[in-house]
Structure 1
Amino acid sequence: MFFDRNIKLLRTKKGLSQQDLAESLELTRSKLNSYERGVQPPFDIQIDIADYFNVTLDGLVRHDLSKLTHFKLSQILKGSEADIRGRKLRLLTVSVDANEDENIEIVSMKAQAGYAGGYSDPEFIETLPKFKLPFLPKNRTYRSFQIKGDSMPPVSEGSWVTASYLQDWNDVKDGENYIVVTKDEGIVFKRLYNKIKNEQNITLVSTNSAYAPYTLHIDQILEIWKFETWNGFEV
């Protein structure tokens, strides 16, 4: 766990003394000092600290922020458009092979039930089957999702869509296909239309006209993956 070193890192990067941060969080300096020295604070204080620095609690606890690039860390500290642009430490949990190359995790229909709760949990990601597609560019992160339903022909139920991770949701292109991981509706494969700038939402459209379009507010979205390829092989 990296909570203690991360809060010290973020505090110093913001140019704050322990006293400055303690006052902002309505803590004593000695309390804050103890947290930076490894004492675990109560859960509500952990949330307050994460909110103050505009990062997720998962990111603050599980990830070594000192490993981030200077640019990435500076964007997080700015705190602007955090959820949309991925600056609220939308850190993607991945697995790697013996050569430190990223795997492509396979999310079956059965595994999708737990994905919304485990997508940022390294232990959950480690349980997923993995494979490689050598023809895909190596400068992206990929995941393969099994498709439910008949709403997106020619991609049929049971097929597999491999998609690349989209960090900045402003980059969603109108009329292109994406996997969307949602809080309440599970994992869906749809054609998207980007209305984030003006309405803070995205319209999801099926290629099967029997299914009506609908919108999702960005608060209901956990991840977006851009369609790369699909096939019907059995895993």
Structure 2
Amino acid sequence: MEAQEIFLKENLKFLRQRKKLTQEVLAELLDMSRVKLKAIETGTTLNPSIPDVILIARYFKLATDTLLTVNLAKLGELKLRELESGSDVYLTGRNLRVLAITQTQDSKENVEYVPIRAKAGYRAGHADPEYLAALPKFNIPNLPSGHTYRMFPTSGDSMLPIPEGSDILARYVQDWLSLKPATLCIVILIGDQEFVFKQVTVTDEGLLLHSLNKLYEDYLVEFSDVLEVWEYYSFHSKNLPDELTELTQVIREIRKLEDKITLKPGL
């Protein structure tokens, strides 16, 4: 039998550079020494430990089989983006993007609410049953079956006329490529902004995010910068939506400028 070619070192370097990470930064994210990471990436370590291989695969959301036996640099861009979104056709067994859930005593899924104070820890705890168990939970009657729902708080006015501070009930999206253009979604990002509520359109370059408030410009996020996508189902707010006219927008911006103006000493 012909020996299976292994692409671990090539794939590790390719994935690291694709995320624009230095060896030092990636080693810190993996809680691994830079010396060990460099040795794996350069092939100095011919037989890295199985726990290290699993650690790397989980960070990049790949099956270990994919990480080891598929030359990722030879794949097309669309296929790479499918892998980065979690659609790894090589997965055999436990899907690394299986969503953690909590259930009631009669085996019905809870709707978890992620309060403002818990948002900072969501990226680290989103797949941790203990983290989810500590979140507030509730049930909403007549929700369409076959989906997992979660509720997220919003802030800011980028999605007016949906009122500021609304709570968004959304359902989990496993396949991001299935989204129709301009779908309202909660997007969980890996970068500085953890939650954004936007209209989402899938493009060849990533997810195009659009605000309902015309004062905000569209922007693009790469697939690799997205942790989760939750499709909008409904919003909950104590405030009624206002009709947002152009004059209302101008007045809102004038008030913002007034708040920022500070008088210099002596004036």
**Out of 189, 199, 214, which is 1:191 matched to?**
199
- Give the drift of 1:163: 0.4
Q: Partners of 2:182 and 2:61 in 1: how far apart?
A: 35
Q: Structure 1 stretches of 5 or more lacking a match?
A: 1-18, 29-40, 57-78
Deviations 1:40-63 (A, max 9, x none): x6752432565899338xxxxxxx
Helix, strand or coil at the partner of 1:135: coil
Q: Partners of 2:58 and 2:124 in 1: how far apart?
A: 19
Task: Normalising by structure 1, report the TM-score.
Answer: 0.67
Larger Rg: 2
- Deviant stretches of 4+, over 6 Å: 19-22
Q: 1:163 to 1:52 in 2, by over 3 A?
A: closer
**Out of 230, 237, 241, which is 1:232 matched to?**
237
Deviations 1:9-66 (A, max 9, x none): xxxxxxxxxx9799x89449xxxxxxxxxxxx6752432565899338xxxxxxxxxx
Tell me if 1:221 matches 2:226: yes
- The AA in structure 2 aligned to 1:84 is S
**Out of 151, 154, 158, which is 2:165 matched to?**
158
Helix, strand or coil at the partner of 1:112: helix
- Give the drift of 1:148: 1.1
Q: Is the 8 A contact 2:101 2:109 kept in 1?
A: yes
Tell me if 1:55 matches 2:63: yes
Structure with the bigger percentage of strand: 1
Tell me if 1:143 matches 2:150: yes
Q: Partners of 2:234 and 2:146 in 1: how far apart?
A: 16
**Out of 130, 142, 162, which is 2:137 matched to?**
130
Task: Normalising by structure 2, report the TM-score.
Answer: 0.59
- Give the drift of 1:132: 0.9
Q: Is the 8 A contact 2:172 2:229 kept in 1?
A: yes
Equivalent residue number for residue 122 of structure 2? 115
Q: 1:175 to 1:44 in 2, by over 3 A?
A: same
- The AA in structure 1 aligned to 2:185 is Y
Equivalent residue number for residue 5 of structure 1? none
- The AA in structure 2 aligned to 1:110 is R
- Give the drift of 1:218: 0.3
Q: 1:86 to 1:206 in 2, by over 3 A?
A: same
Q: Partners of 1:124 and 1:50 in 2: how far apart?
A: 19
Q: Once superposed, what is the RMSD of the aligned Cα atoms?
A: 3.3
Q: Is the 8 A contact 2:61 2:84 kept in 1?
A: no
> How many residues are matched?
181
**Out of 209, 216, 235, which is 1:211 matched to?**
216
Q: Partners of 2:107 and 2:225 in 1: how far apart?
A: 33
Q: 1:48 to 1:115 in 2, by over 3 A?
A: closer
Q: 1:203 to 1:158 in 2, by over 3 A?
A: same
Q: 1:53 to 1:233 in 2, by over 3 A?
A: closer
Q: Partners of 1:202 and 1:52 in 2: how far apart?
A: 18
- The AA in structure 2 aligned to 1:187 is F
- Give the drift of 1:153: 1.4
Q: Is the 8 A contact 1:174 1:194 kept in 2?
A: yes
Q: Partners of 1:209 and 1:188 in 2: how far apart?
A: 16
Q: 1:96 to 1:86 in 2, by over 3 A?
A: farther
How many percent identity over aligned positions?
32
Equivalent residue number for residue 104 of structure 1? 111
- Give the drift of 1:135: 1.6
